[in-house]
Structure 1
Amino acid sequence: MVMATTAYTAAVTSIASVTLEVADLESARRFYSAFGVDTHLSLRASEEHSTGFRGFTLALTVSGPATVDGFVGAAVDAGATVLKPAAKSLWGYSGVLRAPDGTIWKIATSSKKDNGPDSRRIDEVVLLLGVEDVKATKQFYTGRGLTVAKSFGGKYVEFAAGQSSPVKLALYKRRALAKEVGVPVEGAGSHRIVLGSTGDTFTDLDGFAWEAAEPAAPTAS
């Protein structure tokens, strides 16, 4: 694993893939298929030690409350644990759950009123990294080629997603993110997530690992 330095060999332009490291690969495959997000991530077996909050969450943005409820219900039926029941908030309607492998997911919509049936459609997937210093990590990633789409001082940063990126990247204070999803902030060991990079292999300031993504195989003409 290559630690972060200021000597960059290639720039990252977006997330090419997201891989969750799980202890039970077959069980995780069944869960994420039932949950309905298996096409947005990859899984691989790992025995890396991890305790408590892993420092990140994955969030699904959907069209309305019925779709939030549909994804939450499917996840719970497949074995997820509810951390925060789906409910209205200042920003819309959302719920938070923990997958059997330990990954925390938030399913949210900006709509507070039912605007149709459960579509089972995902509008956007966002990876929120909980970091100690948002400004420093923002500078780290912009130095690697990412473009800032939204920024709120030292509290929150959202990067523009590449055209082929399956997931949007955002930064949040680690303590604030833990509070947002309803878990204690303490955690140690592996993050249990690896990001595919359109550039080189590196590790960021908070220990999140990026691996150079394999280029797509050429198609026959």
Structure 2
Amino acid sequence: MKKSVLSFGTLALLAGGLWTIAVALEGAEEMAVLRAEVRAAQGYDEVDVARAVLSAAQITSFAQNLEFCGYLGLDAAGVIRSSEVVRGLVDECSPLWPDDLEVVASWHTHAAYDTGAWSEVPTVIDIEADEDEGIDGYVATPGGRFWFVDTEAMEVVQLCARGACVPVDVAYVPGSEGYIWQSYTYQELLDREAAQ
């Protein structure tokens, strides 16, 4: 009869695998809570629903340091709801277009605060992606700013200043990106990103 021999490295790998499973389960529980909170956020005012959805998503976004995203749209009864929540990467997220909603806007978070990232203002990519789909958008930042992406005017406008209506990452350092304007045109976003 042959004996199985596990090396220290194999044991460490197995233990690491178990840890990974535990982290994945914890992430799954966070996602289940987030999805329930997003499903509960519904109504007839687009901005209110966007703010409620992004407020719910911010906490998980900070904890996992990932972007979360989705679409807002009208259901058959004319109620504004979010599509399914999608977990993205640190600096991107691709929502799934819903079949059961008449889409009016996108929404996404900007993950957790990172000293090396400029994430307090929607990006050129954010406004271009919404324009390509023919919709507007909403963005929440680690500093707790709530933005509207207006693709008709091709500008982004702060609906709420830092910490006024969506959660703030506790690690966020005020002023780390300099002065943040109330709004930026598409050209101003291009200039801002070119200067970074």
What band does the TM-score fall into relative to the shorter chain? under 0.3
Greater fraction of residues in strand: 1
TM-score computed with the length of structure 1 as normaliser: 0.24
TM-score computed with the length of structure 2 as normaliser: 0.26
The structure showing larger relative contact order (alpha-carbon pairs under 8 Å, at least 6 residues apart) is 1
